[in-house]
């Protein structure tokens, strides 16, 4: 692990600084080109009026030189032609303004280009470069525990660097056959239930953290493998009043007038596990129910019956059809209702039957009730179910 991680770290550092050098060279070349273009623009804009002024002066000097030669010719010519030449010279001299020159700017008004280069830039850049990047001997967070769930894995992680102040965590996973990790959770919690996990398939997980007030993520934890051997919970298909998701773990009470109890596809809830319902609420009714039962009974419109324990959407708890005095808060949208059971056996248990007791804990909205559920037969596994009188209820089970 040390050699592999050291080799990987070297490769990451070399690639990063190679990319950085290429990017810096590109940025410096772009800045140089921009400054050279500024020089070109200033030069062209500043020299244009001076060139025009020079042309006017040269033209005036040339005109005066021509007039001077014409005057010399008039003086040196024949007496007969002298008067005519002098007359033409005089007329031309009157039309030419030899004392007129374009305005020439003073020397202080003429641009004088120079490059202003701040030497402290190199010092700042040097300090930034020498502080850029760190090498960590171990990540500040590590994966701590994998808990098998039906069709999912509860992943827990913890800080191993107490000086690291974590603001957020980021959990990724991938199938063992996949090449890339994908995000499955970003938030402040230190555990997350990863759903849609195929049973008996290895998955790799890794986690990192972001320090308080920082943007960059910490190094990844050491990847670890997790799996579940428990098949996912599924609702049974075919009941008219309910529509199911593609994975059949979400049930929606539709607009159908048909009512009845929607059961699980199989008795997949085992004692010692936690069964969780998360719901979106609709209009409540006192006959609504969420719970578990020993067997499916077609024709019932609620789990408020014998051989079942359930909670109504108003928070009432029913055991074998009888309402308990203890009551939980009403079910709210986005909240979870959980069932936990452990076996407490009374007397001998055989295939012919006998007293069988389950200690049941139902939790909802940070409240819980605990009671003993006595059955006349051994139950290694249980069905779960739900019933709603009005449309709009949606229940995810895991």
Question: Are residues 246 and 359 located together in one domain of the fold?
Answer: yes
Specify which residues 207 forms β-bridges with.
171
Question: Are residues 288 and 174 located together in one domain of the fold?
Answer: no
Secondary structure string (H, E, C) spanning the chain: CHHHHHHHHHHHHHHHHHHHHHHHHHHHHHHHHHHHHHHHHHHHHHHHHHHHHHHHHHHHHHHHHHHHHHHHHHHHCCHHHHHHHHHHHHHHHHHCCCCCCCCCCCHHHCCCCCCCCCCHHHHHHHHHHHHCCCCCCCCCEEEEEEEEECCEEEEEEEECCCCCCEEEEEEEEEECCCCCCEEEEEECCCEEEECCCCCCCCEEEEEEEEECCCCCECCCCCCEEECCCCCCCCECCCCCCEEECCCCCEEEECCCCCCCCEEECCCCEECCCEEEEEEECCCCCCCCEEEEECCCCCCCCCCCCCCEEEECCCCEEEECCEEEEEECCCCCCCCEEEEEEEEEECCCCECCECCEEEEEEEEECCEEEEEEEEECCCCCEEEEEEECCCCCCEEEEC
Residue 114 forms part of a structural domain: no
Q: For position 104, what pLDDT does the model report?
A: 65
Question: Are residues 393 and 303 located together in one domain of the fold?
Answer: yes
Question: Are residues 252 and 331 located together in one domain of the fold?
Answer: yes
Question: Are residues 97 and 164 located together in one domain of the fold?
Answer: no
Question: Are residues 208 and 355 located together in one domain of the fold?
Answer: no
User: Which pair of structure tokens corresponds to residue 336?
Assistant: 């979870």
Residue 200 forms part of a structural domain: yes
Could you list the pLDDT tens digit for every one of the 398 residues in the chain?
Answer: 788 888 988 998 999 999 999 999 999 999 999 999 999 998 888 888 778 778 888 887 887 787 787 777 777 766 666 677 777 777 776 777 666 666 666 767 777 888 888 888 888 888 888 888 777 777 899 999 999 988 899 999 999 888 888 899 999 999 988 889 999 999 999 999 998 899 999 999 999 999 887 888 988 998 999 999 988 999 999 899 999 999 899 999 999 888 899 999 999 999 888 999 999 999 999 999 999 999 998 888 999 999 999 999 999 999 999 999 999 999 999 899 999 999 887 655 544 445 788 999 999 999 999 999 988 888 878 999 999 999 999 999 99
User: In the listed set 193, 228, 263, which residue is the last one of a domain according to the structure?
Assistant: 228
How many Å apart are CA 293 and CA 295, to the nearest integer?
A: 6
Specify which residues 209 forms β-bridges with.
169
User: Which pair of structure tokens corresponds to residue 383?
Assistant: 């069905």
Question: Are residues 219 and 281 located together in one domain of the fold?
Answer: no
Q: For position 101, what pLDDT does the model report?
A: 61
Residue 185 forms part of a structural domain: yes
Question: Are residues 70 and 192 located together in one domain of the fold?
Answer: no
- Main-chain phi, psi angles of 389, to 5 degrees: -80, -30
Alpha carbons within 13 angstroms on the beta-carbon side of residue 70 total: 16
Residue 303 forms part of a structural domain: yes
Residue 359: which of 347, 375, 336 has the closest Cα?
Answer: 375
Domain that holds residue 78: 1-102
Could you tell me the CATH number of the domain that includes residue 164? Answer: 2.60.40.10
Residue 213 forms part of a structural domain: yes
375-381 LR contacts (CB < 8 Å, sep 24+): 375/294, 375/307, 377/294, 377/353, 378/349, 378/350, 378/353, 378/354, 379/271, 379/294, 380/270, 380/271, 381/267, 381/268, 381/269, 381/270
Residue 1: which of 222, 202, 211, 208 has the closest Cα?
Answer: 222
Residue 126 forms part of a structural domain: no
Residue 382: which of 308, 288, 320 has the closest Cα?
Answer: 308
Question: Are residues 192 and 337 located together in one domain of the fold?
Answer: no
Question: Are residues 217 and 172 located together in one domain of the fold?
Answer: yes
State pTM to two decimals.
0.60
The total of structural domains in the chain comes to 3
349-358 LR contacts (CB < 8 Å, sep 24+): 349/378, 350/378, 353/377, 353/378, 354/378, 358/271
Q: For position 323, what pLDDT does the model report?
A: 95
Residue 113 forms part of a structural domain: no
Residue 255: which of 387, 397, 385, 389 has the closest Cα?
Answer: 389
Residue 235 forms part of a structural domain: no
Question: Are residues 218 and 314 located together in one domain of the fold?
Answer: no
User: In the listed set 102, 126, 155, which residue is the last one of a domain according to the structure?
Assistant: 102
Q: For position 114, what pLDDT does the model report?
A: 86
CA distances from 58 to 53, 93, 370 (A): 9, 18, 110
User: In the listed set 76, 102, 128, which residue is the last one of a domain according to the structure?
Assistant: 102
Question: Are residues 268 and 389 located together in one domain of the fold?
Answer: yes
């Amino acid at each position: 692990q040390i050699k592999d991680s050291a080799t990987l770290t070297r490769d990451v550092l070399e690639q990063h600084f190679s990319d950085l050098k290429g990017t810096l060279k590109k940025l410096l070349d772009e800045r140089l080109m921009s400054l050279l273009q500024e020089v070109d623009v200033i030069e062209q804009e500043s020299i244009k009026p001076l060139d025009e002024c020079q042309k006017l002066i040269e033209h005036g000097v040339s005109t005066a030189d021509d007039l001077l030669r014409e005057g010399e010719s008039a003086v040196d010519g024949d007496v007969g032609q002298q008067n005519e030449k002098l007359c033409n010279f005089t007329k031309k001299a009157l039309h030419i303004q030899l004392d007129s020159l374009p305005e020439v700017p003073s020397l202080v008004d003429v641009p004088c280009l120079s490059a202003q280069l701040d030497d402290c830039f190199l010092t700042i850049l040097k300090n930034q470069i020498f502080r850029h990047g760190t090498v960590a001997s171990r990540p500040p967070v590590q994966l701590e525990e994998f808990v098998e769930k039906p069709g999912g894995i509860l992943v827990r992680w913890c800080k191993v660097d107490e000086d690291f102040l974590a603001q957020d965590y980021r959990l990724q996973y991938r199938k063992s056959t996949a090449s890339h990790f994908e995000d499955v959770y970003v938030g402040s919690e230190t555990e997350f239930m990863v759903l849609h996990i195929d049973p008996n398939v290895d998955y790799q997980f890794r986690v990192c953290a972001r320090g308080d007030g920082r943007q960059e993520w910490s190094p990844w934890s050491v990847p670890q493998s997790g799996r579940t051997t428990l098949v996912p919970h599924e609702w049974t298909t075919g009941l008219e009043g309910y529509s199911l998701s593609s994975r059949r773990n979400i049930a929606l009470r539709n607009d159908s007038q048909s009512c009845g109890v929607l059961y699980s596809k199989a008795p997949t809830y085992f004692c010692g596990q936690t069964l969780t319902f998360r719901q979106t609420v609709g209009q409540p009714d006192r006959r609504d129910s969420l719970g578990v039962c020993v067997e499916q009974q077609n024709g019932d419109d609620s789990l408020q019956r014998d051989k079942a324990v359930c909670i109504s959407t108003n928070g009432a708890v029913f055991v074998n059809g009888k309402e308990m005095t203890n009551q939980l808060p009403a079910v709210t949208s986005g909240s979870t209702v959980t069932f936990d059971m452990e076996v407490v056996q009374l007397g001998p248990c055989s295939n012919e039957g006998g007293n069988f007791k389950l200690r049941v804990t139902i939790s909802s909205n940070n409240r819980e009730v605990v009671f003993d559920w006595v059955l006349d037969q051994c139950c290694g596994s249980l069905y779960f179910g739900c019933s709603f009188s009005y449309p709009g209820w949606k229940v995810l089970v895991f």
